[in-house]
Amino acid sequence: MSHMKTITQWLVLAVILIGIGIRLSVYGDLKLSVANRDTGSYILSSEVDLLSWKAFTTYRPYTTNLIYKIFTPGDGYRNRAVSDGDTGTVKRKVDRGAKDIVLLQVAVSIIGWACLAWSFSSRLKNGIVKVVSAATIVLFGFTPQAADWDSVLSPESLSISLFVLAYAILIWLAFVYYESPKTTPKNITAFVILFAALFFWVFTRDVNGYSLLFLMFFILGLYFFPQYRKTKFLLLASLAVFSLFILGNISARQRTLWNLALTHVWVSDVLSSQNNIQYFTEKGMPEYETPEYYEWFDKYAPSTYMQFLVSHPGYTIYKFFRDQHIAFSENKQPYFKANELRFRPSLIMIGDYMHPTSQTTFVVVLILLLALWSQFIFQKNRAALPWMWLMTWGFLIATSTLFFSIFGDSWGLARHALSSTMTYRLLMWLLLILLVDFSTSREENNSPHVEQRITQEKA
């Protein structure tokens, strides 16, 4: 049995290494980049003292300020390949300063997907499913639908890759604590790395920070189980996550970007409906485009808009599901073309299977998540418990960030919601693999030996 496990581990490692080799060899020069209409604002925003509070409150978030500041060339950035994504694609270029940023994005992406493939597959039972899971994750992350974003000078690549890296570490930590709820130097080190990944993830996009509350509550929720009540580390971990949530939200509120995003919402969703205008007028909104209106908007628009969404659940639910069609409608970047690459058509075809464009993906993920819950609730499969914790958290992360993307800025929704829709697509495959693994190893999961081991560990 041990011999077979070793062989499986080597096969998983081989799959990951082959995937990395493909990623490094079939996408052309890794230094090629393309800028979009927002790239200039990231460069301008990075012209700030990184050790000052202004670095957190300037026009763009801290992570991109840090990266664009570090890689600023002595003679300034040069962006010869610029595309707005609407009027057509361009050919990528190797540009001054930009080449270092895209190399970093490629590196973080490869590390994140490789770690997730290893971390996820290592916790499965069936050897064949382990290898299949590694191949699935590698294909998901290294096909153009995900990998192309590493060449784009915008935050999408880092937002995706940092979340994937954090998720991989969280999977490892969750199972370590599930099997033995003890605080060790290795666990603390892993949490520090997780916190660092979450820190930089939060400060790639403002909507990411709102979702950290779920992780805090999930960590604190472990105290409902007697085996976790003796450790203070979980309390410290939840406080660390909560502090990051507070920091992210305070800095986002002081950044002027929210004003522009909410203005888009006002134009497309509020001012387009007489009933909506009446509601906000009754809440004190002055006549549109008057000096009094802009003063009111800066002070009261966010809170009043949130009250509107809560008091009109029918509208909120309808809009959330209606706009999912737009959010899921694209799965490829619209900024550059690379038709000269030999294997690109095949990779795009595979990627289209891995990244479906139907909003049905949301419903499929929800159904699969309920099936996972039923493994524990109705079939008494204890092995499903940590996976329930992890997959439910991932689902809530995707849902909360999609919610704030839909209701926070309705313009360019497909790109703004990319991290959320990609998380749903990833969860769909992970949940399918988990359920297959449970079905092929049910006897092992429910054997008296396993039950006895779990009872001893909890005691």
DSSP 237-270: HHHHHHHHHHHHHHHHHHSTHHHHHHHHHIIIII
Residue position matching structure tokens 């049995």 = 1
* Amino acid sitting at position 154: S
Tokens of 66: 């840090």
d(CA 353, CA 356): 6
Q: Which tokens hold the place of 372?
A: 């996972």
What is the reported pLDDT for 458? 44
- 34 has which bridge partners? 152
Confidence at residue 452, expressed as pLDDT on a 0 to 100 scale: 45
Residues 419, 209 contacting (CB under 8 angstroms): no
* Integer-rounded Cα radius of gyration of the chain: 23
Residue type, 402: L
Strand partners, 82: 35
DSSP 92: -
Neighbours of 311 (CB within 10 A): 10
The whole-angstrom separation of Cα 352 and Cα 134 is: 18
The whole-angstrom separation of Cα 327 and Cα 413 is: 6
Report residue 24 as tokens: 């490094």
Phi and psi dihedrals of 287, rounded to 5?
A: -60, 140
pLDDT of residue 416: 87
End-to-end alpha carbon distance in the chain: 28
Render each residue's pLDDT in the chain as its tens digit; 459 residues: 577 778 999 999 999 999 999 999 999 999 999 999 899 999 999 999 999 999 999 989 999 999 999 999 999 999 999 998 776 789 999 999 999 999 999 999 999 999 999 999 999 999 999 999 999 999 999 999 999 999 999 999 999 999 999 999 999 999 998 988 888 898 899 999 999 999 999 999 988 988 899 999 999 998 888 888 888 889 999 999 999 999 999 998 888 888 888 888 888 888 888 888 999 999 999 988 898 898 899 888 888 999 999 999 999 999 999 999 999 999 999 999 998 899 999 999 999 999 999 999 999 999 999 999 999 999 888 889 999 999 999 999 999 999 988 888 767 788 889 999 999 999 999 999 999 999 987 644 444 444 444 444 444
**Which tokens is 145 given?**
């639908």
Whether residue 164 contacts residue 398, with contact meaning beta carbons closer than 8 Å, is answered with no
Please, which residues have CB within 8 angstroms of residue 262's CB and are 6 or more apart in sequence?
297, 301, 302, 305, 408, 409
* DSSP structural state of residue 59: S
Under 8 Å CB-to-CB from 201, ≥6 apart: which residues?
63, 158, 159, 162, 163, 166, 208
